[in-house]
Amino acid sequence: MPETLVLSVLRGRDVTYVATVPGQRVAMRYDVGMSLPAAFTASGQAILSTMPNDSRARDRGDLVESDQVAAGPKTINRLLSQLRETTTRGYAIDDEETALGMRCFGVPVGQAANGIAEGAIAISMVKHAHDASAADRIQEMGRRVNERLR
């Protein structure tokens, strides 16, 4: 598989990677136990998109910043807009937010009775190698994972 596949869970403001399947070399090396700010990652945005607005913004302040990712700070309003787009589209997109030259697609998995996801799966790829079916593939993987969790 040319893409890197990750499974992550939300821990505070970060996603923590609990499983990885390396693919072709991307700009970021994912390791089990590694954490990145949820607001900038496809898996983090996928999980956050399942939460009520007050939970999404709680403790994040007006500006979301990180020195761990390529993207500069973003306003909470920009994040909330991205989360609405994620909900509408059915998947999150990290377009060079985590690392330059990398694009990721993520979907929530393990949604509890309250609708909030327990985690997310995402695929990461070199941006110039991105193909249009990547979003479809991650949505299908998410559907399969969710079926098995029921």
Range of lowest pLDDT (10-14, 43-47, 66-70, 95-99): 66-70
Q: Is the pLDDT of residue 91 over 90?
A: yes
Per the structure, the count of domains in the chain is 1
Q: Give the burial string for 76-94 (b: 16+ CB within 10 Å, else e).
A: eeebbebbeebeeebbbbb
Q: So what's the pLDDT on residue 24?
A: 75
- Give the three-state DSSP class for 45: helix
Structural element, H or E, at residue 146:
helix 134-149
| CATH number of residue 96's parent domain | 3.30.450.40
Cα–Cα–Cα angle for 140, 24, 11, nearest 5°? 60
Range of the domain at 16: 4-149
Average pLDDT of the residues in 76-102: 90
Average pLDDT of the residues in 71-99: 88
| pTM of the predicted model over 0.85 | yes
pLDDT in tens, 13-61: 899 999 999 887 777 788 999 999 999 999 999 999 998 876 665 555 5
